């Protein structure tokens, strides 16, 4: 019931946005629908603690992992959609967009959110692929929304690279199906259903599964933003409108990562832990190193946030490589913390761009003196991003490091620690230039509207609260981790 | 009966790879698109022949869909794009045509080396042809990497997709219909998206400059 309700709310909002011309109330309704999805997601989490839920003749399935992902998608969507009315008003009044394109924007945002919800709620690994690919099509138009040369180039690069990547993931999925058809314990009706794949996973042919998992890591890894197919990410995130960047960085990357978590469980059952671990460690460490190098000399605010996403996805891949229940629970907590924090950062940097007219960090100075609230939010969000306590990323990074030590991966902990420290130094240096420094002009400090400040401050408080008292999430996270790490 | 089945299957699967290599050889967009159309039809033949042999109706439906989408609709869309473009030739490939053909030969050998490890799981007259699909995928990647024009990149993408579809048919006798439907419609959507982007870019500025993807960098 709850599964159908979640998809119905999202679908109804999509139809409403398509049926009516753009008005600010449509934006507020879409925020309300995201809030409803968060509430339904929490209710679903509670029911999945006892047993997985099914709907629509077993074509939809939710275990604790799916329910947790619904909560993450809902929360970040709520933040992003709360900014829809404001972003559209700003863009229409400055002539960047027209009411017609504002309508397209809201419809595409809703399609995007619905596709991600289907991806985490489907029982079928093939439908998972279809819905992740469908997000590519919706987001391509969202990236090119501003219709500038840069936006077109970014969306072109995005759609070409992600289509190629996701084609590899399809081949990987097909190979898993082929291995399932010819496995020893294969039952009468083989299908790509999660439960039936997992029931024969121990008997899958190792040669085929090895190739399939490698294709899946590169394929879904493209959408996650992992090296070697990451190069679309900084362009797309820097050219898209701020709420779109918030959604893409905050949840789209994690939804693709959710696909990897599922297939990792299949690969571990078929091949043992060594091969999946080696592969995920290689892409994870490579992504982390690349992000560190690119962050040191970064000049553009939004590209800085984009490379930081690559950094965090690298950390997630290393955590998933360990693969113990503790590591996966930490990975999931990290997904939530990163989603909220990155959404706050992209949304506040959208405000900064609106005020300053640039995202060149060298040209932005003295924000704290001129816009104390906005600069404060941005500063605290950055502290959360570099994983300082009390924010939840501190807890999740610490737990991941502990799990890595337990697994004997000392060198991975050492590399992560060095990279995270270098990034800490780089980000605080960049932020100091923007926040401190003399104000260029002598304008008096201006207030930030409550509609901007309140959601962002609320999200940061939530992040800190989760970091201090993780107990409400503890049982859900452990339960969700056991779904893919038995 | 059985020998006709094997012969038709081999012919059609071979035609998919042959047309892929031909797209590397031809330069005029118009003839490249004709090759793609032929490839779509060969792919549909593979699905239909397999469907008739294994008495699977889902495969026959898929074959009809592939024929419509990959044999007719996508090539028509591409023809329309190239008629908008006055200079419809691949003028400056990064690797010239003779060298490309040599590379293609190497890629086919590579596909057979990797492919036999997959087909050994269940040897049959259909799975033995799967390396042809893998070779088509690799040729598609080669096209994507070495050709600069926007249309050529779309062609590369379609080659990758057709190669994967060929492998899917030969290895599994078709994945569940919904997934097959999803992946077929997906190609159509991606081509529509790319076409739309090319047209809107043309209204703004030089498409070639944008699709060479050089303005945005660190």
Higher pLDDT, A346 or B120: A346
pLDDT at A454: 94
> Residue B162, exposed/middle/buried by CB under 10 A (0-12, 13-18, 19+)?
buried
Containing structural domain, residue B24:
2-211
Cis peptide before A341 (omega within 30 of 0): no
Q: Which residue of B lies nearest to A294 if distances are taken between CA atoms?
A: B218
What's the structural domain count of chain B? 1
C-beta atoms of A133 and B182 within 8 A: yes
Count of C-beta atoms within a 10 Å radius of residue B89: 16
Q: Which residues of B touch A (CB under 8 A)?
A: 114, 117-118, 120-122, 137, 141, 144, 150, 153, 157, 160-161, 164, 167-168, 171-172, 175-176, 178-179, 182-183, 186, 189-190, 193-194, 197, 200-201, 204-205, 210-211, 213, 215-216, 218
Element (H, E) at B17: helix B2-25
Q: Which residues of B touch A170 (CB under 8 A)?
A: 164, 183
Higher pLDDT, A326 or B1: A326
Residue B181 has pLDDT above 80, yes or no: no
Higher pLDDT, A418 or B202: A418
| 3-class SS of residue B191 | helix
C-beta atoms of B157 and A160 within 8 A: yes
Q: B40-99, pLDDT tens digit by residue?
A: 999 999 999 998 998 888 888 889 989 998 999 889 888 887 776 655 566 667 788 888
Per-residue pLDDT of chain A in tens (486 residues, 90 and over written 9): 899 999 999 999 999 999 999 999 999 999 999 999 999 999 999 999 989 999 988 899 999 999 999 999 999 999 999 999 999 999 999 888 899 999 999 999 999 999 999 999 999 999 999 999 999 989 999 998 988 888 888 988 899 899 989 999 999 999 999 998 888 655 556 688 899 899 899 999 999 999 999 999 999 999 999 988 999 999 999 999 999 999 999 999 999 999 999 999 999 999 999 999 999 999 999 999 999 999 998 999 999 999 999 999 999 999 999 999 999 999 999 999 999 999 999 999 999 998 888 889 988 888 888 888 999 999 999 999 999 988 999 999 999 999 999 999 999 999 999 999 999 999 999 999 899 877 666 666 777 888 899 999 999 999 999 988 876 788 999 999 999 987
**B114 is a domain residue:** yes
pLDDT at B208: 62
For helices B29-54 and B57-66, angle between their N-to-C axes, nearest 10 degrees: 170
**B83 is a domain residue:** yes
- Chain centre distance of CA A63: 19
Whether A242 contacts A349, CB under 8 Å: yes
Q: B5-18, pLDDT tens digit by residue?
A: 999 999 999 999 99
Residue B210 has pLDDT above 70, yes or no: no
Element (H, E) at A408: none
A189: region left, alpha or beta (phi > 0 left; psi from -120 to 50 alpha): beta
How far is A303 from A49, CA to CA, in rounded Å?
39
How far is A313 from A338, CA to CA, in rounded Å?
9
C-beta atoms of B197 and A129 within 8 A: no
**B47 is a domain residue:** yes
Q: What mean pLDDT, rounded, does chain B reach?
A: 84
**B217 is a domain residue:** no
A126 vs B: CB within 8 A: yes
**B216 is a domain residue:** no
Q: Name A124's bridge partners.
A: A193
* B113 φ/ψ angles, rounded to the nearest 5 degrees: -60, -45
* B94 φ/ψ angles, rounded to the nearest 5 degrees: -70, -30
C-beta atoms of B213 and A182 within 8 A: no
C-beta atoms of A149 and B215 within 8 A: yes
How far is A211 from A360, CA to CA, in rounded Å?
43
pLDDT at B96: 85
How far is A282 from A287, CA to CA, in rounded Å?
9
The candidate with the shortest Cα–Cα distance to A300, out of A249, A364, A217, A211, is A364
pLDDT at B106: 93
Closest by Cβ to B193, choosing from A159, A164, A303: A159
pLDDT at B203: 67
pLDDT at A276: 96
pLDDT at A343: 97
For residue A324, the 8-state DSSP code is: -
């Amino acid at each position: 019931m709850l599964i159908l309700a979640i998809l119905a709310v999202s679908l109804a909002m999509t139809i409403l946005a398509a049926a009516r011309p753009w008005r600010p109330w449509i934006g507020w309704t879409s925020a309300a629908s995201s809030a409803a999805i968060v509430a339904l997601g929490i209710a679903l989490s509670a029911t999945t603690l006892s047993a997985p839920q099914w709907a629509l003749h077993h074509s939809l399935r939710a275990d604790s992992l799916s329910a947790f992902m619904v909560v993450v998608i809902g929360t970040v969507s709520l933040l992003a959609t709360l900014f829809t009315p404001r972003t559209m008003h700003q863009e229409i009044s400055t002539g960047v967009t027209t009411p017609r394109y504002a309508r397209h924007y809201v419809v595409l945002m809703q399609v995007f959110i619905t596709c991600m919800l289907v991806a985490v709620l489907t029982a079928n690994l093939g439908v998972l692929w279809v819905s992740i690919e469908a997000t590519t099509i919706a987001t391509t138009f969202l990236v090119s929304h501003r219709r500038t040369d840069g936006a077109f180039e970014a969306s072109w690069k995005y759609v070409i690279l992600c289509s190629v990547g996701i084609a590899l993931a399809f081949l990987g999925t097909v190979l898993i199906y082929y291995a399932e058809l010819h496995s020893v314990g294969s039952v009468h009706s083989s299908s790509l259903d999660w439960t039936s794949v997992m029931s024969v996973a121990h008997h899958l042919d190792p040669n085929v599964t090895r190739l399939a998992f490698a294709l899946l890591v590169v394929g879904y890894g493209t959408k996650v933003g992992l090296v070697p197919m990451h190069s679309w990410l900084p362009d797309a995130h820097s050219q898209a409108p701020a709420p779109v960047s918030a959604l893409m960085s905050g949840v789209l990357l994690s939804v693709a990562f959710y696909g990897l978590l599922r297939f990792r469980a299949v690969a571990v059952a078929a091949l043992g832990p060594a091969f999946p671990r080696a592969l995920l460690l290689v892409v994870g460490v490579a992504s982390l190193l690349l992000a560190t190098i690119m962050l040191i000399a970064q000049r553009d605010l939004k590209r800085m946030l984009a490379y930081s996403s690559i950094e965090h996805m690298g950390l997630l891949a290393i955590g998933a490589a360990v693969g113990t229940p503790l590591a996966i629970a930490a990975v999931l907590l990290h997904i939530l913390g990163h989603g909220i924090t990155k959404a706050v950062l992209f949304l506040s940097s959208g405000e900064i761009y609106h005020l300053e007219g640039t995202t060149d960090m060298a040209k932005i100075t003295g924000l704290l003196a001129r816009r104390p609230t906005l600069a404060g939010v941005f500063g605290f969000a950055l502290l959360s991003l570099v994983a300082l306590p009390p924010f939840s990323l501190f807890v999740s990074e610490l737990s991941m490091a502990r799990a890595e030590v337990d697994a004997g991966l000392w060198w991975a902990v050492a590399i992560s620690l060095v990279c995270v420290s270098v990034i800490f130094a780089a980000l605080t240096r960049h932020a100091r230039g923007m926040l401190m420094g003399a104000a260029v002009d002598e304008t008096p400090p201006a207030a930030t509207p409550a509609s901007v400040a309140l959601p962002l401050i609320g999200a940061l408080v939530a992040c800190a609260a989760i970091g201090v008292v993780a107990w409400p999430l503890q049982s859900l996270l452990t339960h969700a981790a056991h779904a893919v790490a038995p | 009966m059985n020998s006709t089945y094997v012969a038709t299957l081999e012919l059609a699967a071979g035609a998919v790879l042959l047309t892929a290599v031909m797209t590397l050889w031809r330069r005029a967009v118009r003839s490249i698109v004709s090759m793609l159309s032929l490839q779509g039809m060969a792919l549909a033949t593979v699905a239909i022949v397999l469907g008739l042999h294994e008495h699977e109706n889902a495969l026959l439906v898929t074959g009809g869909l592939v024929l419509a989408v990959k044999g007719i609709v996508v090539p028509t869309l591409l023809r329309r794009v190239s008629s908008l473009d006055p200079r419809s030739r691949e003028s400056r490939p990064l690797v010239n045509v003779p060298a490309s053909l040599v590379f293609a030969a190497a890629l086919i050998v590579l596909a057979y080396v990797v492919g036999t490890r997959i087909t050994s799981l269940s040897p049959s007259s259909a799975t033995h042809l799967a390396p042809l699909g893998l070779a088509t995928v690799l040729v598609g990647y080669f096209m994507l990497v070495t050709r600069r024009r926007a249309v050529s990149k779309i062609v590369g993408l379609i080659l990758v997709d057709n190669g994967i579809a060929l492998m899917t048919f030969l290895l599994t006798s078709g994945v569940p219909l919904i997934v097959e439907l999803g992946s077929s419609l997906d190609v159509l959507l991606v081509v529509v998206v790319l076409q739309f982007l090319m047209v809107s870019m043309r209204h703004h500025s030089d498409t070639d400059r944008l699709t060479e993807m050089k303005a945005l960098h660190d």
